[in-house]
Structure 1
Amino acid sequence: MTKKFVSLLLGLSLALHAQSYRDVLQAVDNALSLQSAQALEEAARLMAQAQRGLNLPALDAELSASYLKDTPTMYLHFGGPLGLAPAVPMGTKERWEGSLILSYPLFTGFVVTASIDKADLQHRLASLKRLDLKRNLYLQSTRLYGAIYAATQMLKAQRKGLEAIEAAYEKARGLYDNGLIPPADLYNIEAKKYAMLSRLKETEAKRRTLLSSLSRLINRPVDDIEGLAEGAGVPTQEVSLKRAMRMREDLKALEATLGIRDQEERLAKSRFYPTLDVAAAIDKQGDTLRLNGDGYTNADRSYVGARMRYNLFSGFADEKRLEAARARKLAAKLAMEDYKKEIATEIESAYYRLDALESRLQSAKMEIKARDEYYQLTLGRFENQLADADELSRAIADLAAARARKSAIESDIFTQKATIALQSGLQNFEKLYLAP
């Protein structure tokens, strides 16, 4: 039964279509979260175009109709017969008016230019947020890919351990049949075999869960993966930091936010300036839709005009708005400076961790060599009845665990190198891992 299970797992792994690290990264564009961010970026772009319309003249067409209860009348008081005042009609009950108005704001206290600049910055911010999301999706995909690789290598190590313990069980069975070892030793090895089989199943379940998580993240089925990609060399810490300060999308997003706060300050200041509008209209009125007058007043009411407005007092609201805008701008500036320090600390810690992992890898290689030598020695001693079954089982399990640790460290080093590249910005990472 055990051999059938192992054969099934091996056959299943071979049948699955393995995807490379490059394939997974390219599939990140298919992520639903990234598609959502692209839609928001498009919305911000369209809003920026809409704001530019404020800088153009406005042309409006108007048509109004009304029906009066009484006819407009003028009474003349000049002492006629019987002292009655003559009534002179001044219009009709039915009234129509149509106009075509062209207006343009000559000066708005920089409201128009600040609003347009703010909308452009909001579009840039949405674009940078999408790119930073993509950078984070690359990071999440890399971690899942590395974890899947580690789980796959652990499976291989556990299978080797299972094969070794099955071989040991067959030898112990022969010794037991010849009365050379007690039943306890045989049962001990058999128990270890089933314990290792249980761990193998748990590792396979973990691996399948990780594959499902990666599939959901990139919105594409991932049945299996290939080995770890050979990335480019890791630059010095100083180079990585300079690239991050120049190219990191999240830092650029904070800079765009600071620009938006600056435009909000300009908008708040605009309340302290007068506004000047000009308008020209073709305006006709009448008692029918022909708009040819009503027989009493002029049909043509076309005009050219200008209007200036200046707020003298607003209950100190304008002053408080300006103070609030300046406070938000200062908060954005301080947040950006603090984030720069956070990035520097993050990169420094990443290099420390990479150095530690590379040291652990050397130690893991030496441990595998020592565990393998001890296993061979213990196996020979067991065959000559100089070691018991428990000692042999521990030697097999320790060798399998050492191999798994080495694979896990290799996975961590791969993930850490990719993380360092991502810490320098999306463009730098794609150049190293996705360039043809």
Structure 2
Amino acid sequence: MRILLITLLAFHLCFGDDGLSLDDAIKKVKEHNSEIVIAKFNERIKTLEHQAALGVNYGSLELSQAALRSNDALNVFGYKLQSREATFADFGFKQFNGSNYMLSPEDLNNPKDRNHFQTKVEYTLPLYTGGKLEQYGKITKALESMSTLDLESLRLQKIYEIKKSFYAISLLDTYLYNLQLIASNTKKLEAKTAAMMEEGYVKKVDLLEVQNKYSDVERLIAQAEANRTLLYHFISFLVDEEVTAIKGHYDEVQDVSITDERILSDNLDIKKAEQGVEISKMNIALAQSAFLPQVGAFANYGSSDDKLMNDFSKNDAYTVGLQIKWNLFNGGSDKNNVEKARVENLKASQQLVLAKKQIALYLKQLQTQIKNDEYEIKSLKNEVDLAHVIYENYAGRYEQKLVSINDVLIKQSEELSKVLRLKEVQNARNEKIFELQKLASKEML
């Protein structure tokens, strides 16, 4: 009967049509997981920041339109000059007759209100920045690559979580099946004990002990079912849709067959640390650019008049030029910034060395723990089978009044303990292998 139930359970788990398969779950995680979607937005932001940094190299073209009105003497005279309308009368010459040269020129000092409309297009272009713009472009490109690594790292983390959950549910199903078998056996033992009590062979306390053991098993079943429900909620959160059943059976995942050298070369944390070193080098060059001159060119073209867009070409004008700026002294701030960038580079280099050592050590720890778990699983499987045989033997001897009910329940507890321990070690081994896959930056099932 036990073998038949196991066969039916395996058939249902492997060939059931309902539920979400692990392959489909991983696809849904990649496409719909909220954290991954946010990380994709961050990657897009870094791409746009890089493009914006490159755009500065091409300069800027600006259109400006000013609309002014003033009776300020300087402004009005300037407006007339810009509109090419200044006359000698604006200097007060119409008041001059040869004898009143000491009089104040009224037209110049107290002009009438005047409108002024100026339309201007100006283009500015950085010609040389001491490498500053070049380093900005390199740094933003590196940060874009870093965001891609962050996205891939998060994607691997979520795949790790979904695989761990699927295997945990599958092991819980097997564990629940074993608990149900133990509960069924305990119920049969309860019936036998009740029958023996009626015949006067055992006392009521024996029946109470069996009933208490059955309650313990029922409690473990309820806890396992609650944990399974929680796992389904977590899977639903990861794939961003409700999941109430999974398709397939996931028992013990295969070990990772990748060399240590390949794992370390592909590890994303090491790649991010290497990227950090490169960025710190770029920051040194960026800080050093402050000691070099900044050269820029500009050109503008426009027209001014007292009426908006009135005969544009008549009053047009242009200006072109170059500008050089060179910071000669700022209290040593630039020197300190360069030194700071160098120290940060040393720090990043040391962090890279440390990351390689830590990950290499963690790799060895995982590999050792996986081997230990495999030995324990192999032993526990034999112990579970043996514990069940011993329990059945004691149950049979109890019917023959050769052992006490307490002896039977002890053997049943031992079987239950072995079943629980087997599930725990299988879960632990699977999690370590998934962690190893994540360390290797792989999505293997």
Q: Under a length normalisation based on structure 1, what TM-score does the superposition of the two structures give?
A: 0.86
Secondary structure of the corresponding residue to residue 315 of structure 2: coil
1:286 to 305, 319, 344: 305
| Alignment correspondent of 2:357 | 341
Cα distance between partner residues in 2 of 1:395 and 1:135: 43
Secondary structure of the corresponding residue to residue 301 of structure 1: strand
Cα RMSD between the aligned structures? 2.8
Establish whether residue 312 from structure 1 lines up as the match of residue 328 from structure 2.
yes
Q: Note the 1:3-402 alignment, pairs <5 A.
A: 17-29=18-30, 30-69=32-71, 70=73, 71-72=76-77, 73-74=90-91, 80-85=98-103, 87=105, 93-225=114-246, 226-228=248-250, 231-235=253-257, 239=259, 241-290=260-309, 299-402=315-418
Per-residue CA deviation, residues 287-321 of structure 1 (Å, 9 max, x unaligned), is 3224559xxxx934312211111111112121122
Secondary structure of the corresponding residue to residue 403 of structure 2: coil
Cα distance between partner residues in 2 of 1:229 and 1:184: 40
| Alignment correspondent of 1:7 | none
Shift in Å at residue 364 of structure 1? 0.5
Per-residue CA deviation, residues 399-431 of structure 1 (Å, 9 max, x unaligned), is 233223223323332332222222111xxx22x
Give unpaired runs (5+ residues) of structure 2. 1-8, 78-89
Bigger shift: residues 64-73 or 243-252: 64-73
In structure 2, relative to structure 1, the CA distance for the partners of 1:182 and 1:88 (3 Å cut) is closer
**Is contact 1:75–1:85 with CA below 8 Å preserved after alignment?**
no
In structure 2, relative to structure 1, the CA distance for the partners of 1:287 and 1:403 (3 Å cut) is same
Count of paired positions: 412
Shift in Å at residue 53 of structure 1? 0.9
Per-residue CA deviation, residues 98-136 of structure 1 (Å, 9 max, x unaligned), is 222222111111121111111111111111111101111
Secondary structure of the corresponding residue to residue 349 of structure 1: helix
**Is contact 1:16–1:224 with CA below 8 Å preserved after alignment?**
no
Cα distance between partner residues in 1 of 2:190 and 2:254: 46
Cα distance between partner residues in 1 of 2:180 and 2:410: 15
**Is contact 1:97–1:291 with CA below 8 Å preserved after alignment?**
no
- Counting aligned pairs with the same residue, the percent is 20
Shift in Å at residue 212 of structure 1? 1.7
Shift in Å at residue 276 of structure 1? 1.1
Cα distance between partner residues in 1 of 2:251 and 2:118: 75
Cα distance between partner residues in 1 of 2:149 and 2:186: 55
Per-residue CA deviation, residues 223-265 of structure 1 (Å, 9 max, x unaligned), is 23332167555326xx1x3223322222222222333222222
Bigger shift: residues 351-360 or 82-91: 82-91
Cα distance between partner residues in 1 of 2:188 and 2:344: 71
In structure 2, relative to structure 1, the CA distance for the partners of 1:86 and 1:378 (3 Å cut) is closer
Cα distance between partner residues in 1 of 2:17 and 2:215: 27
Bigger shift: residues 333-342 or 159-168: 333-342
| Alignment correspondent of 1:5 | none
Per-residue CA deviation, residues 351-384 of structure 1 (Å, 9 max, x unaligned), is 0101110110122022123212311221221011
Secondary structure of the corresponding residue to residue 18 of structure 1: coil
1:424 is matched by which residue type in structure 2?
A: A
| Alignment correspondent of 1:408 | 424
Secondary structure of the corresponding residue to residue 322 of structure 2: strand
Shift in Å at residue 140 of structure 1? 2.3
**Is contact 1:16–1:223 with CA below 8 Å preserved after alignment?**
no
Secondary structure of the corresponding residue to residue 256 of structure 2: coil
In structure 2, relative to structure 1, the CA distance for the partners of 1:189 and 1:229 (3 Å cut) is closer
Cα distance between partner residues in 1 of 2:411 and 2:242: 39
Cα distance between partner residues in 2 of 1:366 and 1:290: 96
Cα distance between partner residues in 2 of 1:78 and 1:332: 79
2:419 is matched by which residue type in structure 1?
A: R
Cα distance between partner residues in 1 of 2:369 and 2:395: 38
| Alignment correspondent of 1:6 | none
Cα distance between partner residues in 2 of 1:82 and 1:412: 108
1:23 is matched by which residue type in structure 2?
A: D
Shift in Å at residue 16 of structure 1? 10
Shift in Å at residue 328 of structure 1? 2.0
In structure 2, relative to structure 1, the CA distance for the partners of 1:164 and 1:417 (3 Å cut) is same
Bigger shift: residues 265-274 or 181-190: 181-190
**Is contact 1:160–1:400 with CA below 8 Å preserved after alignment?**
no
Secondary structure of the corresponding residue to residue 336 of structure 2: helix
In structure 2, relative to structure 1, the CA distance for the partners of 1:232 and 1:146 (3 Å cut) is closer
1:266 is matched by which residue type in structure 2?
A: A
Q: Under a length normalisation based on structure 2, what TM-score does the superposition of the two structures give?
A: 0.84
